[in-house]
Amino acid sequence: MSKTKITLLYADEEGEIFDAPGVSAAGRSGNQNIPLRREDLIPLPESADLMYLPDRMPVGEKDGELLPVSGQAVAALLPAGYTRIYMPAFQKTEAAQTLPLYGYTAVALYKDEMYAAAIYTDENSKWDPARYNTDNLPELINKVKRDVPGNRLVEHLANCSLQWHCCTAQNLFYGRWEAGIPVSPVCNAACLGCISLQAAECCPSPQSRIDFSPSPDEIAQIGSYHLSRAADAIVSFGQGCEGEPSLAADNIVPALKMIRARTDKGQININTNAGFTDGIARLADAGLNSMRVSIISAVSENYKAYYRCNYELEDVIDSIRYAKKKNVYVSLNMLYFPGFNDSKTEAAAWRKFLRSVSVDMIQVRNLNIDPDVFAQIMPEFSPALGTKMFFGGLKGEFSAVSIGSFSHYQNK
């Protein structure tokens, strides 16, 4: 077998992975399967995970024809900082069930090594998996419980750290960087890919949602505790284990005032859909430093098809404009699905969107969802530019907007 071939991979029923000599690997963009090229690939990152996709046969190219191959399709789950440019190409069997909420990336064998169809988007060693889930984490959790006794948020975040292995929850106990403070059990959207609450007929949520509303005192206790002691300290409202944090403005606003009465250190951030403009405005007025806005589309109909919300895309735009007037650092958390965001229709809409509002950064995140579930819900895909051309075009026109994957500490 030539070592320069990009060869299809498949798994058997036990999950052992094999290559298929003579069959070239393919990837999926939107609903289209495309043979992979060398320029599409990077060496599989060390901290990536491989998994097989049950009841899905991999699709590859042989003799100029795309066809399914016996076996189970294989996918990579990439660490943060990497953006996939193709999903696995597969053909479902009748027995196929909905896939869990992960970001599936095409993989292949090249020069006897595994490669992924992805690009490197951002470097941030703070999110290296080796820095988390250390042996001393339970001891550190017990210390914070002693320092901040009787706080329900501490108990909740301890569970998130040990059961769900949430990095921003763990940072509270490690005393560093960005620490999450979940505040809202309710939401104004029912996102197709919500990771904390899903309808019974869909895929299971990979974590559970907070089931109480913390008081201003509880929020301020851990907010000031973290900001006053942590390196490059950020506290963030709007975690994977909650709904929309701006709906809890009645509790967050007095908490912000209490935090800033105790310490002027660090940054206060919100991760939000920004659909509740009144709540966002109140938080910006109260001293919010940064805002990361979850967004998947710049086309109103496509946006609402995914978020299934009780607000409009124009409300999101209004929230961003107000926050910028208050000197809030604004990032877009772009949920990325190859063949959708980079379609010609979406690309034109994104350029129009970015001309109408000022943002500081685009954070690209692989959309965690079964590709077929997304394709069934969203409007028909238009021809795609390709991931590299899409982001290259945005960077060319909007050179002041940084493109990456992480919230970075902003030196004041």
Locate tokens 């992480």: which residue?
A: 406
Average pLDDT over residues 172-180: 97
Residue at which a domain ends, from 87, 120, 153? 120
| 48-52, 126-130, 314-318: segment of lowest average pLDDT | 126-130
Question: Do 322 and 367 fall into the same domain?
Answer: yes
What are the DSSP calls for 7-19, one per residue?
EEEEE-TT--EEE
- Under DSSP, the state recorded for 315 is H
195 pLDDT band (50/70/90 cuts)?
A: low
* Eight-state DSSP code of residue 45: P
* 114 and 148 co-located in one domain: no
**131 and 114 part of one domain:** no
Helix (H) or strand (E) holding 113: strand 113-120
What pLDDT does 4 receive? 63
pTM (two decimals): 0.93
Mean pLDDT across the chain: 93
Bridge partner list, 178: 234
pLDDT tens digits, residue range 136-159? 999 999 999 999 999 999 999 999
Instruction: List the one residue out of 197, 193, 195 whose CA is nearest residue 185.
Output: 197
Distance in angstroms between the alpha carbons of the first and the last residue of the chain:
56
Residue 238 lies in a domain: yes
pLDDT value of residue 381: 86
Do 364 and 334 contact (CB within 8 A), yes or no? Answer: yes
Cross-strand pairs, 33: 28
**Both 279 and 360 in a single domain?**
yes
Question: Which structural domain, as residue segments, surrounds residue 260?
Answer: 125-404
120, 141, 161 — which closes off a domain?
120
* CATH code, domain with 387: 3.20.20.70
Q: Are residues 115 and 172 in the same domain?
A: no
- Asked whether residue 369 falls in the same domain as residue 341, the answer is yes
Dump strand ranges (E) for 31-93: 32-35, 41-43, 49-53, 56-62, 65-68, 73-77, 82-84, 87-88, 90-92
Q: pLDDT per residue over 197-219, tens digit each? A: 555 445 555 556 789 999 999 99
Residues 219 and 93 in one domain: no
Q: Are residues 185 and 265 in the same domain?
A: yes
Are 195 and 149 in a shared domain?
Answer: yes
Q: What percentage of residues in the chain have a pLDDT greater than 70?
A: 95
User: Is residue 1 a part of any domain in this protein?
Assistant: no
- The residues with which 292 forms a beta bridge, in sequence order, are 271, 331
- Of 128-132, 185-189, 268-272, 295-299, least confident by mean pLDDT is 128-132
295 shares a domain with 157: yes
Does 379 map to a domain? yes
- Residues of the chain with pLDDT > 90, as a percent, come to 85
What is the DSSP secondary-structure string of 47-59? Answer: T-EEEEETTEEEE
Q: Could you tell me which residues come within 8 angstroms of residue 250 by beta carbon, excluding any fewer than 6 positions away?
A: none
In a domain, 209, yes or no: yes
* Residue 356, burial from CB neighbour count under 10 angstroms (0-12, 13-18, 19+): exposed
DSSP character at residue 191: -
Whether 95 is in a domain gets the answer yes
97 and 150 assigned to the same domain: no
pLDDT of 2 strictly over 50 = no
DSSP 229: H
Res 202: pLDDT: 53
**Confidence check: pLDDT of 308 > 50:** yes
342 lies in a domain? Answer: yes
- If asked whether residues 158 and 33 sit together in one domain, one would say no
Overall average pLDDT of the 258-276 stretch? 97
Winning range, highest mean pLDDT, from 88-92, 119-123, 378-382: 88-92
Identity of the residue numbered 20: A
Which residues have CB under 8 Å from 214's CB, separation 6+? 152, 153, 181, 182, 183, 251
Number of domains into which the chain is organized: 2
* Alpha carbons 67 and 57: distance in angstroms, whole number: 10
Instruction: Tell me which of 97, 120, 143 is where a domain ends.
Output: 120
Contact in structure between 273 and 316 (CB atoms under 8 Å): yes
Q: Does residue 277 belong to any structural domain of this protein?
A: yes
pLDDT at 89: 98
Is position 356 within any domain?
Answer: yes
pLDDT of 412 > 70? The answer is no
